[in-house]
């Protein structure tokens, strides 16, 4: 940007499309240039928004910002030097390849997630692969650890982030073990809704991955994913704008399905709220 007014306009545009700018905007002119347009700084709910200027500059000076193309794997020799990744945009996946070539996606990491793979044993759980174009900030382990130990707000946010990742993994394993195709897809729609930037309309949900990748995450066939979307649309539970955007038209019915009700039962009882929401709380 050629001047401060242009930079501020650019940030206003990005924030209006993605999330509210935090109260630390007053430090904008003193922040590193890359941080000024990074969600981890201008979004008040993310890690760098919790740092003071000294911490922000120190972490920035010892970190690397990188854009990764879809389908790219992050290899172990890179993670040896840069084991902590902050996802600024896009979707990363943790994938496992079986001996016969079958692939399964165990986890999605999206905007705002911090992936900590300092324990080399954790890397045996699978390969990190970009499912879209992903912007990541490779954080210095030493600077990151020093900041987390000294800054209580940043430490609390990291705990919350790791806790959310843990509970998502628990919910996902439960979905795979017990739920039908429609139930799993309904639960995933609510997961995407919860992880959307807060400025988005609560009834409009972006599905951030391709149908094939979603099928591998949910343990389904891509054709089954498409049939489930069409079934929900036919019943008036969702509206489908395109392959990546849907609108929730009947949230109670969708929650009922996600928690085990058949679509017909959910549609009939969608006016009632006397049910327990476990993995699909909004």
Q: Which domains does the chain have, with CATH numbers?
A: 179-268 (1.10.10.10)
Residue 243, helix vs strand vs coil:
coil
Question: What residue ranges in the chain does DSSP mark as E strands?
Answer: 64-68, 73-74, 84-89, 92-97, 103-109, 114-116, 127-130, 134-139, 204-206, 238-240, 245-248
Q: Is 175 exposed, middle or buried (0-12, 13-18, 19+ CB in 10 A)?
A: buried
Predicted pLDDT of residue 104:
87
| pLDDT tens series, the chain, 282 aa | 344 444 444 444 444 444 444 445 445 568 888 888 888 887 778 899 899 999 999 999 999 999 999 999 998 888 889 999 999 999 999 998 777 877 889 899 999 899 998 876 666 678 899 999 999 999 999 999 999 999 999 999 999 999 999 999 998 988 988 899 999 999 999 999 988 875 556 889 999 999 999 999 999 999 999 999 999 999 999 999 887 899 999 999 999 999 987 655 555 555 544 333 334 444
Residues in contact with 164: Cβ distance below 8 Å, sequence separation at least 6, in sequence order: none
Predicted pLDDT of residue 68:
95
Predicted pLDDT of residue 96:
85
Q: Report the half-sphere exposure of 101 (CA within 13 A, side-chain side).
A: 0
The CA-atom distances, in angstroms, between 178 and each of 173, 218, 219, 259 are 9, 12, 12, 11
Predicted pLDDT of residue 126:
80
CA distance 175 to 182: 11
Helix, strand, coil percentages for the chain (3-state, nearest 5): 50, 20, 30
Predicted pLDDT of residue 10:
42
**Edge-to-edge strands, sheet with 92-97:** 73-74, 127-130, 92-97, 103-109
Please choose, from the candidates 244, 104, 266, 241, the residue with its C-alpha nearest in 3D space to the C-alpha of residue 183.
266
pTM for the model stands at 0.76
Predicted pLDDT of residue 263:
54
Predicted pLDDT of residue 277:
36
Report long-range pairs for 94-98 (Cβ below 8 Å, ≥24 apart): 94/125, 94/126, 94/127, 94/128, 95/126, 95/127, 95/128, 95/129, 95/216, 96/125, 96/126, 96/127, 97/127
Q: Is 200 exposed, middle or buried (0-12, 13-18, 19+ CB in 10 A)?
A: middle
Predicted pLDDT of residue 195:
86
């Amino acid at each position: 940007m050629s001047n401060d007014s242009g930079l501020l306009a650019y940030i206003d545009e990005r924030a209006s499309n993605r999330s509210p700018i935090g109260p630390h905007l007053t430090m904008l002119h003193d922040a590193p240039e890359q941080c000024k347009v990074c969600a981890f700084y201008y979004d008040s709910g993310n890690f760098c928004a919790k740092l003071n200027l000294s911490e922000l500059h120190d972490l920035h000076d010892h970190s690397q910002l990188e854009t990764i193309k879809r389908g790219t794997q992050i290899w172990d020799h890179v993670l040896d030097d840069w084991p902590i990744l902050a996802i600024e945009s896009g979707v990363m996946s943790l994938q496992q390849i079986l001996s016969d070539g079958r692939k399964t996606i165990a986890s999605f990491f999206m905007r705002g997630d911090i992936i900590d793979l300092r324990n080399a044993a954790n890397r045996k759980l699978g390969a990190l692969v970009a499912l879209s174009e992903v912007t990541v900030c490779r954080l210095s382990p030493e600077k990151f650890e020093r900041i987390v130990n000294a800054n209580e707000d940043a430490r609390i946010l990291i705990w919350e982030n790791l806790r959310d990742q843990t509970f998502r993994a628990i919910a996902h394993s439960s979905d795979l073990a017990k739920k039908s195709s429609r139930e799993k897809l309904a639960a995933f729609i609510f997961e995407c809704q919860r992880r959307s930037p807060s400025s988005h309309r609560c009834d409009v949900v972006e599905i951030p991955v391709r149908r094939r990748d979603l099928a591998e995450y949910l343990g389904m066939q891509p054709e089954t994913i498409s049939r489930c979307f069409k079934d929900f649309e036919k019943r008036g539970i969702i509206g489908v704008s395109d392959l990546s955007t849907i609108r929730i038209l009947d949230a109670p019915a969708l929650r009922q399905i996600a928690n085990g009700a058949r679509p017909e039962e959910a549609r009939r009882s969608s006016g009632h709220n006397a049910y327990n929401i476990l993995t699909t709380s909004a």
